[in-house]
Amino acid sequence: MTENILQVKRNDEFYYPIVFRKNFEDLSNQLKTLKLQERKCCIVTDSNVAPIYLETVKKELEKVSDTIISIILPAGEENKTLAQIQNIYENLIKAHFDRKDLLFALGGGVVGDMTGFAAATYLRGIDFIQIPTTLLAQVDSSIGGKTGVDFLQYKNMVGAFHQPRLVYMNVHTLDTLSDELFSCGMGEVLKHGLIRDLDYFEWLKENREKVLNLDEDALTEMIYKSCVIKKTVVENDPTEKGERAVLNMGHTVGHAVEKLKNFKLLHGQCVSIGTVCACYLSLKRGLITKEEYESALEALRAYRLPISVQGLNAAEILTATKSDKKMEQGKIKFVLLEKMGYAYIDKTVTDEEMKEAIEVVLEESGEEKS
């Protein structure tokens, strides 16, 4: 990777930068460049991230702001609720935040989604900055302006599109991730290669050892390449009217599994399981070969991702997919591979096909199939 800034555009005009750094020391300079200094700042983070990075980020913001408050949310998907959004609103109101002030999302995808949603709806919209600290957030959720919360255990059912003013990535935050959380992010990374870049997918397979050993150069190149794919798709379709839906490969079944397991499985793990279903359907329709299908499964396994799930059956997973927010006129928009490295949206997948694909991810666990 030769560049350290990606520029996200909207309607062919500059919209916001994605900045790649090895620490937080350039954050204040980036805010000055965007003319976002001398505003009240609120850092939203969670109970896992706050002890590690909150004070460091706060000290950096003190260079450009006289008023900095922080909100520490309880960590975990189960806390991604409207009640916690209300908590953010109350803190902002008490601190007299107005439309010129700033929110900062310091953490993983849950913190990013919630902070973005609070920013989109407080005073009908204020600016916010994404500071993603997990691999999943760095390669996926921090880019593109999707925000939201879960509602009655339905994933991201309430939300808004609200683009950040800056995405600031400190690659070294990955050093503090558990192996499980790192692999969770790889579910989205591998998906990027499958849907838009076969060369990148092959690169991920070839560089597995370096990536899993957190080799700095390999990690930076990987995150950069994933961000290029995500930003390109988002630029073409900022509010998911068409092409952007390909980013949801593995998510229809994945979200259903996530819900039915009461979020005990991580998002990237559920996406991996859903990706197996999508690849299987692509195989059954003659779009990819058996060897290519096995190659996809091998890559998921190589990055310590699950390809099966226990404790569920096909009928209940199929039923859960019907409440997916990506339904359109009663039909599921299922993402399949037209070929390895290129995905498309298919609205013709039948319940029978879906059930057969779901049974594939139940086979290894020995669970019921109906």
Active site residues: 124, 146, 188, 230, 240, 244, 248, 251, 255, 267
Chain centroid to CA 285: 28
Angle between helices 109-121 and 82-94 (to 10 degrees): 60
Tell me the β-bridge partners of 151.
154
Write the CA distances from 59 to 27, 38, 65, 120, integer angstroms: 10, 14, 10, 26
- Contact between 140 and 230 (Cβ < 8 Å): yes
Task: Count CA atoms closer than 13 A to 113's CA, side-chain side.
Answer: 24
Q: In angstroms, rounded to a whole number, what is the distance separating the alpha carbons of residues 230 and 226? A: 6
Run of H or E including 16: strand 13-21
Helix (H, G, I), strand (E, B) or coil at 163: coil
Q: In angstroms, rounded to a whole number, what is the distance separating the alpha carbons of residues 352 and 173? A: 44
Q: In angstroms, rounded to a whole number, what is the distance separating the alpha carbons of residues 356 and 349? A: 11
Angle at CA 231, nearest 5°, toward 226 and 79?
80
Q: In angstroms, rounded to a whole number, what is the distance separating the alpha carbons of residues 161 and 144? A: 8
Q: In angstroms, rounded to a whole number, what is the distance separating the alpha carbons of residues 207 and 338? A: 25
